Amino acid sequence: MQPLDPFVALSGGALIGIAAAVLLLLSGRVAGVSGMLARAAGIADSGPTRGQAGAFVIGLPLGAILVGTFVRSPDITVTSSIPLLMAAGLLVGFGTRLGNGCTSGHGVCGMARLSPRSLAATATFMGAGFLLVGILRHGIGQGIGG
Amino acid sequence: MELAKGLGADTMRNLFAALLTGVIFGAGLALSDMINPARVLAFLDILGAWDPTLAFVMAGALVPSAIAYLIVRRMPQPLLDKAFSIPENRVVDRQLLTGGAIFGMGWGLVGYCPGPALAGLVYGTWQTWVFAAAMLAGMWIHSVTDLSIFRGKSAAVID
């Protein structure tokens, strides 16, 4: 896959960081997507109000639509089979709740304040991701993954 | 407690802040192409044709985020709310690492983490909806599971 223009990648990243910064300055909240989703769905009973969490979650696709409309239509390529999608979703849902966060909460917010938990969590899920893709694409499971 | 509050001006402002930041966040995910799982898998594929895009995205995100965390150290409270809700737990325990490892495996399996999956729902690939539904199911399973097996004795002592 042709890497994205680094300037565009940095700009997109900056938007994500600005979103996290604004939410922190205005409402004092961590912009963690897994936590927001669980709260909005009524699965988690702590965190922001369900209204706030729901508003944040609804905002995500709206922002994606804005970029798709005015900047660049995205090319989403998912080659995974249904069982693989279901297994991955279950693992991501369960794992992010057990580990108290995902790429946004631990990666963007937690690492920014040098939280030891977030640094450890990010290293762990990145490592697990590298390992799994390595095994699926270059090891024994070649051809199972996308 | 929070539910008992009426829909005052502050509540409305906080709702708007959440919506606005969600929109900006989603726009960032789309602009940086993180809503494309193939892009994310290409980053995780260090043994193959490695795509560094995710590293640039993370670097770009960390700068404003880190600045904001430095600023709020000097603020008694957030602009629209009574108190900051920043996690204070600093203990790295078994539960955290197990959760991170499980999440990372799911991430590497398909290339979706929660933010991109939700932001990408509008782009018409049914696969994203299957993933998102399973992700919610995984969160629900966590909420009804006895998690004591993940809590190590050593971690309990540190706590």
Residues of A in contact with B90 (CB under 8 A): 115-117
| pLDDT-based confidence at residue B155 (cuts at 50, 70, 90) | very low
| pLDDT-based confidence at residue A118 (cuts at 50, 70, 90) | very high
C-alpha distances in Å from residue B25, one per residue of A35, A122, B52, B116, B152: 15, 19, 20, 10, 36
- Percent of chain B with pLDDT strictly greater than 90: 81
| pLDDT-based confidence at residue A66 (cuts at 50, 70, 90) | very high
Of B112, B131, B142, the CB nearest to A94: B142
Predicted local confidence at residue B157, as pLDDT: 41
DSSP state at residue B80? S
The answer to whether the Cβ–Cβ distance between B114 and A92 falls below 8 Å is: yes
Predicted local confidence at residue B156, as pLDDT: 43
Whole-angstrom Cα Rg for chain A: 17
Q: Which of A8, A98, A123, A104 is nearest to A44 (CA)?
A: A98
Final residue belonging to a domain, choices B86, B116, B143: B86
Do B9 and B75 belong to one domain? Answer: yes
Q: Which of B118, B107, B2 is nearest to A34 (CA)?
A: B118
The C-alpha atoms of residue A99 and residue A97 are separated, in whole angstroms, by: 5
The answer to whether the Cβ–Cβ distance between B17 and A61 falls below 8 Å is: no
Of A16, A59, A108, the CB nearest to B20: A59
Predicted local confidence at residue B75, as pLDDT: 96
Residue of B nearest to A33 (CA): B115
Question: How many domains does chain B divide into?
Answer: 2
The answer to whether the Cβ–Cβ distance between A49 and B14 falls below 8 Å is: yes
Q: What is the mean pLDDT of residues B146-159?
A: 56
CA angle B88–A98–A45, rounded 5-degree value: 70
**Tens of pLDDT along B43-101?**
999 999 999 999 999 999 999 999 999 999 999 999 999 999 999 899 999 999 999 99
Here the ipTM equals: 0.95
Final residue belonging to a domain, choices B86, B101, B125: B86
Do B67 and B96 belong to one domain? Answer: no
CA atoms within 13 A on the CB side of A33: 31
Do B41 and B63 belong to one domain? Answer: yes
Do B107 and B81 belong to one domain? Answer: no
The answer to whether the pTM exceeds 0.90 is yes
Do B56 and B97 belong to one domain? Answer: no
- To the nearest whole number, what is the mean pLDDT of chain A? 94
Contact A94, B141 (CB under 8 A): yes
Do B121 and B57 belong to one domain? Answer: no
The Cβ of residue A1 has, within 10 Å, a number of other Cβ atoms equal to: 17
Predicted local confidence at residue A141, as pLDDT: 59
Q: Which of A69, A74, A73, A30 is nearest to A52 (CA)?
A: A30
Nearest CA of chain A to the CA of B74: how many Å? 11
Do B5 and B80 belong to one domain? Answer: yes
**Tens of pLDDT along A68-98?**
999 988 888 888 999 999 999 999 999 999 9
The residue range of the domain holding B57 is 1-86
The C-alpha atoms of residue A21 and residue A57 are separated, in whole angstroms, by: 17
Do B71 and B3 belong to one domain? Answer: yes
Which structure tokens are listed for A35? 């936590």
The Cβ of residue A75 has, within 10 Å, a number of other Cβ atoms equal to: 11
Q: Residue B153: which residues within 8 A CB-CB, separation 6 or more?
A: none
Which structure tokens are listed for B33? 């192409």
Do B15 and B62 belong to one domain? Answer: yes
The dihedral built from the CA positions of residue B132, A44, A61 and A120, taken in this order, carries a sign that is negative
Final residue belonging to a domain, choices B27, B51, B86: B86
Do B153 and B103 belong to one domain? Answer: yes
Do B108 and B39 belong to one domain? Answer: no
Do B35 and B51 belong to one domain? Answer: yes
